[in-house]
Amino acid sequence: VQLPKSGRPYVIGSDVCAIVTEVAPDEKHFEVGDKIIARFDEPQPHGMCAEYACVKAIFSEKCPASIPANEACTLPASAAAARLVAQTLVQPDSRVLLLGASGGLGTFMCQYIKLQGASYLAATTTQAELVKSLGVDRVIDYRIENWWELELAEFQYQPFDLVVDLVNGQNWQKGGCSGTKILKGKETTYAQLLCGVETEMDATGLKVIPLMFGMLG
């Protein structure tokens, strides 16, 4: 069983696929015997490789029996986080720019952004065919084009409602603050992932919406 943080040995593990053995008295979504995936709810992941782990229901989801456990345990920090971010920020018929579409989080984000009802999705990546297969309408190869310099008619006259930055770097300084015509000024939300799922996602700049991955439930 997992020891306290200060205890030894330290139990590693961040995400898990497991069978529910006990639930809180007021729990209505899960029951004993359910196969679930779950993720950590603190900046420093630990404990999921223990025999038993206590997880919060809001950071868990039922897992289809058809998905093997060794594959399902890779989903919580990427797929679940992408779903929650998309549900929080993406509005129906919105135009979205995703920076960094081909990573673990980005590939799921592409799909959930579309499922959430976005009418148009542009994305930066070096893997064009991959992200196109995930529903991206316009691929931007950042090795060739800077997204903030794309003063094209398709973007100028139909600017983006939301920018989701999974890359960090200088995207915000060069793009979000640049006054580029492809954003709607104060009507655009720029959401920047600061340090991955270990810390937080912060929507800064044009609309300030602080978000913690551990609070998106």
Question: According to the model, what pLDDT value does residue 44 have?
Answer: 58
Beta bridge partners of 36: 18, 62
Burial 66-93 (b: 16+ CB within 10 A, else e): eeeeeebbebbbbbbbbbbbbeebbeee
In this predicted structure, the answer to whether residue 30 has a pLDDT above a threshold of 80 is: yes
Question: According to the model, what pLDDT value does residue 139 have?
Answer: 94
Beta bridge partners of 17: 37
Average pLDDT, stretch 12-17? 82
Q: pLDDT category, 211, cuts 50, 70, 90?
A: very low
pLDDT digits (tens, 9 = 90+) for 93-114: 999 999 999 988 899 999 999 9
Average pLDDT, stretch 144-165? 79
Cβ within 8 Å of residue 188, ≥6 positions away: 159, 160, 161, 162, 163, 206, 207
Query: Within 10 Å of residue 118's Cβ, how many Cβ atoms?
Result: 23
Pick from 59, 45, 57, 55: nearest CA to 5:
45
Cα 217 from Cα 215, distance rounded (Å): 6
> 60 — phi, psi (to 5°)?
-125, 160
Enter the pTM of the model.
0.73
pLDDT digits (tens, 9 = 90+) for 34-87: 999 988 766 555 677 888 888 888 788 899 999 999 899 888 878 877 888 898
Which is higher by pLDDT, 128 or 211?
128
Pick from 92, 106, 86: nearest CA to 165:
106
Beta bridge partners of 93: none
Three-class SS state of 95: strand
